[in-house]
Structure 1
Amino acid sequence: MNSRATAPHQAPTDAVDVVLIGAGIMSATLGTLIQQLEPTWSVRILERLDDVALESSNPWNNAGTGHAALCELNYTPEKADGTIDISKAVAINEQFETSRELWHHLLATGRLANPSFINRTPHMTFVRGEKNVDYLRRRHTSLSAHPLFRDLEFSTDRAEIERWAPLLTADRDPAEPIAATRSAAGTDVDFGNLTRQLVDGMVANGAELQLQREVTSLRRVKGGGWRLRVKDRSWNARPRTSTVTARFVFVGAGGGALPLLQSARIPEIKGFGGFPISGEFLRTSDPELVAQHQAKVYGKADVGAPPMSVPHLDTRVVDGQSYLMFGPYAGFSPKYLKKGKYLGLITSLRANNLGSMLGAGVKNLDLTQYLVGQVVAAPETKFQALQQFMPTAHPKHWEKITAGQRVQVIKRDADGKGVLQFGTEIVAAADGSIAGLLGASPGASTAVSAMVDVLERCFPQQFAAWRPRLATMMPSLDGVPADAREIAATVDAATELSVAQLAAQNGGVLPSSVYDQQADLRG
């Protein structure tokens, strides 16, 4: 039994103020905020697996970019007239800054143990071909005119791009047009590490964490609140099932959120469906390769590919170890969770969402074709995608890992038909007694803004009184950004740690390219 969990012989309290279903980044963030605002409220976390952050919050199940729209092209679509729409990029950048403000506050007050979950890692976009170079140039012009992106660099010069990320240019055809943008302010975030620290802080401040507890149904309680039926999945459980009542329930169960909200039978979930997409990554810990690439580099998605399948070659720092990761390679599985049931998709079908599901399928035949193509593609064909980024890549240095499941939201559109929505969606009951989060990217990076939204929608009477306290933690909520220098210092502290760890992996020596890149990051 994990040390964070309630010991198996302890009888559970049968009534609590708040139940959080799922021990991932969303529940951990919301629970932390609630404890900051209402420290006397009782909070219980119910997690079906045997530890926290094992599904979408696990670092190998997500991209971990710290989505700030610095490099992701799907957040800056091109309009019919050729102009670039940066509105979504600006919104996501602002949301990520809110997350950084809260993390900085929690570190400064000792609620988070250390900044090891976040590291300064430049964010880059890399494209090939004249058409894509022209698009990237126009994207840079539009973004860099906005104050949030004023430090974004653009270059078509091979020597400059080589200085930023040597693996992108080595052995590349000199006649091929290429371009890149770079932001030194990017980050790599280990959301598993962050989630564990947040949950530890919650438990230290009185929250209950119960692992191997699966919520099987939710029913309204007469007079207000919810009764949850909970299955104890531990091998020696006695009794096997129990119930708990709560005044407020948050469903932060990733892909498992949809069936749980359906079980609650709230009208607001009608018409919603979910399309599961699985994926794979290639990963290497080879010290020589890792030392040559200190960046997260996003490219352009194939035609028909979902936004979550945008190819990227990333620096990752997980549990003190530095890696490179490339992908994702999309696939299909009917499961809603990586460690879930194969009938997840089938059992989520309802009379009220069947039309939405079928309508979205008809509208996204190109996505279906793309997924089929990815599933049947030969390994050597998939590896060629990495070689388009890194011409010198060799299969002997890379291993395949399975990514987490992503469930794309399907909802009714204005004409009553289904539409596949790329993003996240908060679904809350009209009385605010239950809420859940559906969807995928940008997900974890915008968890703080999403959970503040949950608080505002579900606790409208208390929110006005809470807002001044929230603004002390996240000044941008009142339009006053936190001290960027202090936040940058927090990130730099973690970066120094990761550089020291990289040196240890490489026999105590860092290549000159790493020294140069670290100097760049410090300005």
Structure 2
Amino acid sequence: MAGLIFLFRPIASSPIATTDSEPITDVVLIGGGIMSATLGTYLTELEPNWKISMFERLEQVADESSNGWNNAGTGHSGFMEMNYTPEKNGQIDISKAVAIAQQFEVAKQFWSYQVKHGLMSDPKEFINPVPHIAFVWDKDVDFLTKRYAAMRQNPMFYGMQFSNNPTEISSWAPLIIEGRKADQPIAATRMMIGADVNYGEVTRQLVTGLKKSNNFDLQLNTEVTAISRNNDGTWSVGFTNLKTGKEDHIKTRFVFIGAGGAAIKLLQYTGLPEVDQYAGFPVGGQFLVTNNPEVVKNHTVKVYGKAAVGAPPMSVPHIDTRYLDGEKHVLFGPFATYSNKFLKHGSQTDLLAATHKGNVLAMLAVGAENLSLVKYLISQVMLTENDRFTALQEYYPKAKAEDWHLVTAGQRVQIIKKPEGGAASLQFGTEIFASKDGSITALLGASPGASTSPYIMLELLEKAFPEQTKNQWKPKLQAIIPSYGQSLEKNPQLLDSIRRDTSAVLGLIYNPEPKAQANNTEATSATAQ
């Protein structure tokens, strides 16, 4: 796929020599990102006496996929992401948007609990109120009108506003209207409860909370180089200190691989046969950024557009407010890039090293079946500076080229999966891997990823520790996540109560019943039909 030559090689780790007298830790977390930090926080709450070790190959946590500049920072909640609401036979399917909206409510409950209990500090350092807007023009106006009509009936989207009035939309997001042709049909929806999240800061605060426990150990500048099964059912994790070159290992009962794009490669060290069904395809991203005070002052929203027909979900254009490093910025993108690296701070040999006779045919088959993706990536790599600026002007007609500069974001690895006896497919979401006995787990894939990390790690706990989550852990999980085990979509009163509480704790704007807009009669009549 992408014209590479694949090598055929054994990839499982050689067994690590251990002794029965070695101490055994309870949990090893590989990777110092938001997933490991979230899972570690759950486990510390559920089992305070468990010993947990976290290994991170960089000099600090949250410096790869979770880093604010490497992550889109959207609190993915299904409000504005139109790729989550496809149109099928003239009907809008909102099921995925509903699911993601519920998952983000779990994230807000988790963070609120940590703030209330002093394990996370000032919420403004990691989350800020930023309305979420879906914006379209010309032929897509009809789609958004139908989308709004479908979504406004669901409790997860109570408070959503619709407008096809340029004056009103300009009051929501002036940059996207100024300079636009007055006779161009446009439409937008807005959810005021939307947020911008710095997942790097979330991670740092969670790890700071973990370090308050005497049972938590963090090793930075440390790369995991081997994972092997021991005769007693435990795992040995080999690692190297990248500063001293010293090699060592640790025995553990449970392993979680939260290493972003490197997760597939690390899973392959285990030699587990079920890992053979996975391969990965790396895709990078770039964004245009402006710090011009006048531009930044006039844009405090996230505006998502509609991807072109045939384009992959990763291509959805958006012009976003971001709060990073104590400053407000505006970003536009993404523009896809191609690299063989699985991590931004990875190696050009990553793709080659993770490719073997068990997954190469699946990769080639997926490449042949996803020619639109290959074509898209080639076209993105060929973009010029003028091409990127022209794309920006579709969303910000009066943009000035001198105000913007290009930054490279993080790498994402899309999952290629071939179940036994099934066909290979390219997947764009996230997937939890768990061995048959639940002793080794991993998170694979990308979006919505960080936005729903507390929900994803709850799912992982249920897979790895089914008896504990059903029994002794359940009361504590319900204290952390009051909606645990319940459908918020089916319980609007509980949803309202939770949104009021988390919005107050996190400083978000919650207005479930906005006043009707006097100048929006066309939209009202359109959705009433």
Structure 1 residue 417: Cα displacement: 2.1
Contact kept? 2:503, 2:509, Cα under 8 Å: no
Aligned to 1:470: 477
The 3-state SS of whatever aligns with 1:483 is helix
After the TM superposition, which parts of structure 1 deviate over 6 Å for at least 4 consecutive aligned residues? none
The question of 1:489 aligning with 2:495 is answered no
Provide Cα deviations, 1:126-175, integer angstroms capped at 9, x if missing partner: 1111x200001001111111011021111110001100000001011112
Equivalents in 2 of 1:442, 1:314: separation in Å? 16
What amino acid maps onto 1:174 in structure 2? A
What amino acid maps onto 1:325 in structure 2? L
The 3-state SS of whatever aligns with 1:201 is helix
The 3-state SS of whatever aligns with 1:404 is strand
Aligned to 1:121: 130
Aligned to 1:283: 289
Equivalents in 2 of 1:371, 1:245: separation in Å? 42
Contact kept? 1:423, 1:441, Cα under 8 Å: yes
The 3-state SS of whatever aligns with 1:59 is coil
Equivalents in 1 of 2:23, 2:221: separation in Å? 17
Aligned to 2:335: 329
2:211 to 191, 203, 207: 203
Contact kept? 1:358, 1:418, Cα under 8 Å: no
Aligned to 2:177: 169
The question of 1:54 aligning with 2:69 is answered no
2:227 to 197, 205, 218: 218
Higher mean C-alpha deviation, range 46-55 or range 460-469: 460-469
The question of 1:339 aligning with 2:345 is answered yes
Aligned to 1:6: none
What amino acid maps onto 1:487 in structure 2? T
Aligned to 1:10: none
Aligned to 1:140: 148
Contact kept? 1:360, 1:417, Cα under 8 Å: no
Alignment of 1:377-456 (within 5 A): 377-412=383-418, 416-456=422-462
Provide Cα deviations, 1:383-410, integer angstroms capped at 9, x if missing partner: 1110000001111111110010010111
What amino acid maps onto 1:489 in structure 2? A
Higher mean C-alpha deviation, range 296-305 or range 400-409: 296-305
Equivalents in 2 of 1:440, 1:294: separation in Å? 26
Structure 1 residue 485: Cα displacement: 1.7
2:164 to 149, 156, 176: 156
The question of 1:301 aligning with 2:307 is answered yes
Higher mean C-alpha deviation, range 394-403 or range 475-484: 475-484
Structure 1 residue 350: Cα displacement: 2.0
Aligned to 2:110: 102
What amino acid maps onto 1:483 in structure 2? I
The 3-state SS of whatever aligns with 2:406 is strand
1:262 to 262, 268, 276: 268
Identity across matched positions, percent: 47
Structure 1 residue 15: Cα displacement: 3.4
Aligned to 1:368: 374
Compare the two structures and name the one with the higher helix fraction. Answer: 1
Contact kept? 1:51, 1:211, Cα under 8 Å: yes
Structure 1 residue 306: Cα displacement: 2.2
The 1:139/1:494 distance shift into structure 2, 3 A limit, reads closer
The 1:337/1:197 distance shift into structure 2, 3 A limit, reads same
Equivalents in 2 of 1:401, 1:247: separation in Å? 41
The question of 1:26 aligning with 2:41 is answered no
Provide Cα deviations, 1:455-477, integer angstroms capped at 9, x if missing partner: 11111222221011101110111
Which one has more relative contact order, counting CA pairs under 8 Å at least 6 apart? 2
Aligned to 2:12: none
Aligned to 1:16: 25
Contact kept? 1:284, 1:399, Cα under 8 Å: yes
Using the size of structure 1 for normalisation, the TM-score is 0.89
Alignment of 1:501-512 (within 5 A): none
Aligned to 1:518: none
Structure 1 residue 219: Cα displacement: 0.1
Higher mean C-alpha deviation, range 108-117 or range 24-33: 108-117
Structure 1 residue 355: Cα displacement: 2.2
What amino acid maps onto 1:261 in structure 2? L
The question of 1:87 aligning with 2:104 is answered no
Structure 1 residue 413: Cα displacement: 5.7
What amino acid maps onto 1:186 in structure 2? G
What amino acid maps onto 2:498 in structure 1? D
Give structure 2 stretches of 5+ with no counterpart. 1-21, 487-493, 511-529
What amino acid maps onto 1:300 in structure 2? K
Structure 1 residue 438: Cα displacement: 0.4
Structure 1 residue 483: Cα displacement: 3.1
Higher mean C-alpha deviation, range 483-492 or range 200-209: 483-492
Aligned to 1:229: 238
1:183 to 188, 191, 200: 191
The 1:203/1:381 distance shift into structure 2, 3 A limit, reads same
Equivalents in 1 of 2:131, 2:57: separation in Å? 36
What amino acid maps onto 1:214 in structure 2? E
Structure 1 residue 489: Cα displacement: 1.4
Contact kept? 2:193, 2:509, Cα under 8 Å: no
The 3-state SS of whatever aligns with 1:17 is strand
Equivalents in 2 of 1:173, 1:269: separation in Å? 53
Contact kept? 1:295, 1:314, Cα under 8 Å: yes
Equivalents in 1 of 2:362, 2:108: separation in Å? 36
2:84 to 69, 75, 81: 75
Contact kept? 1:119, 1:494, Cα under 8 Å: no
Equivalents in 2 of 1:398, 1:181: separation in Å? 27
Equivalents in 1 of 2:168, 2:347: separation in Å? 48
Equivalents in 2 of 1:425, 1:483: separation in Å? 27
Aligned to 2:354: 348
1:244 to 245, 250, 255: 250
Higher mean C-alpha deviation, range 349-358 or range 321-330: 349-358
Aligned to 2:298: 292
What amino acid maps onto 2:375 in structure 1? Q
Equivalents in 2 of 1:306, 1:214: separation in Å? 33
Equivalents in 2 of 1:308, 1:364: separation in Å? 14
Structure 1 residue 346: Cα displacement: 1.1
Structure 1 residue 117: Cα displacement: 0.5
What amino acid maps onto 1:485 in structure 2? R
Contact kept? 1:66, 1:189, Cα under 8 Å: yes
Report the number of matched residues. Answer: 478
Give structure 1 stretches of 5+ with no counterpart. 1-12, 496-523
Provide Cα deviations, 1:88-128, integer angstroms capped at 9, x if missing partner: 10000000000100110110111112212011100001111
